[in-house]
Amino acid sequence: MPREVSVRRPQSFLRRVGRSETVNGWALISPAVVLIGIFGLLPVLMSLQLSFQQSDLLTPETPWVGLENYRKLADDPVFVESIRHTIVYTALFVPGTMIVGLFVAAAMNRSVRFISVYRTAAYITMAVSTISQGIIFMWLTDRDYGLVNAALNAVGVPSQGFLASPSQALFVIVAMTIWGWTGFSVIVYLAALQGVPAELNEAAAIDGASAFTRFRTITVPLLGPANLFLVVWLTINALQLFDEVYATTRGGPLRATTVIVYYLWDRAFVHFDAGYAAAMAYALFVVILVITAVQFRIARRYVHYS
């Protein structure tokens, strides 16, 4: 009998300690939970309700229109065009950033003099604000004073109005954002490359494998988790492109750079059609959710975690 009591007492004591720690934990995080709920979750729920209403953000009347805002999306030629621009941008930006980032990271994954300086220089683009990036590229591509046109003129090519051209503006924004996000992908790839076991490359080198073969057959397969992270993260960011467009072209000539989020902003805060903009936002949310789920499902077959 005393033995049973001695066993039960520690168990009840541990349960009390566990409950006490749980209460203390919730007490510590409750301010953050309240703030996230008020400024994060509540606006999301309110915008969901708004997507089923008609609102101009100025008058209190918000009549219920049901699914009408969502039906209008399919019949809106500007929205369809913004989807096409967003797809083109994403298809160029995501692989472009990953390829450039992997190339730079591979070049910096070695012990040379001042390597920390080079790595810092590669990441410094992430410290440049979007507005600053826009100003830099507007100046670089200026028809009269830009360095790009100066270089083209030097080889006999006439000046181009890149950001003013319906056929070129979107590609300038792609180049600008690749430049801005390369530092991020370099850091991710550099961390992944430093996790590749050196003995694997040494064994392959002893067997006569070239540097390219070792990189293709050993290094690249081991970068699967880093590739998955970058694909998901960069895709989500690409589908929400706004700042760069707003800072440079404001939708561009003939709406050449009007992407989904910029069109959403235009409908909400220029044309004051907030209900329709909210429906657009939730349609984009569902698209991002589906694409992310597909990416993770595909990754189960091709990404191997060590």
Higher pLDDT residue, 217 or 257? 257
Instruction: Write down the pLDDT at residue 252.
Output: 83
Mean pLDDT of 130-136: 91
CA angle 223, 224, 225 (to 5 degrees): 95
Give the highest mean pLDDT range of 28-37, 115-124, 169-178, 206-215: 169-178
pLDDT at 7 over 70: no
Pinpoint the alpha helices (H) of 109-259.
Answer: 115-123, 130-140, 147-154, 169-193, 198-206, 211-214, 220-222, 224-239, 243-248
Please state the domain extents for the chain. 1-50, 69-302
130 touches 180 (CB < 8 A): yes
Instruction: Write down the pLDDT at residue 211.
Output: 83
Residues sharing a CB contact under 8 Å with residue 171, sequence separation 6 or more, in sequence order: 92
Residue 22: pLDDT band (50, 70, 90) is confident
pLDDT digits (tens, 9 = 90+) for 260-294: 999 999 999 999 999 999 999 999 999 999 999 99
In the numeric block, the tokens 């049901």 are attached to: 66
pLDDT digits (tens, 9 = 90+) for 179-225: 999 999 999 999 999 888 888 888 888 888 888 888 888 888 889 99
User: Residue 239, Cα to own-chain centre: how many angstroms?
Assistant: 8
With CA atoms as reference, report the closest residue to 253 among 178, 170, 173: 170
Mean pLDDT of 226-247: 95
Q: Which class is domain 69-302? A: mainly alpha
Instruction: Write down the pLDDT at residue 306.
Output: 59
pLDDT digits (tens, 9 = 90+) for 51-81: 999 999 888 889 999 999 999 998 999 999 9
Q: pTM, whole model, 2 decimals?
A: 0.87
Mean pLDDT of 244-264: 92
End-to-end CA distance of the chain: give it in Å, rounded: 51
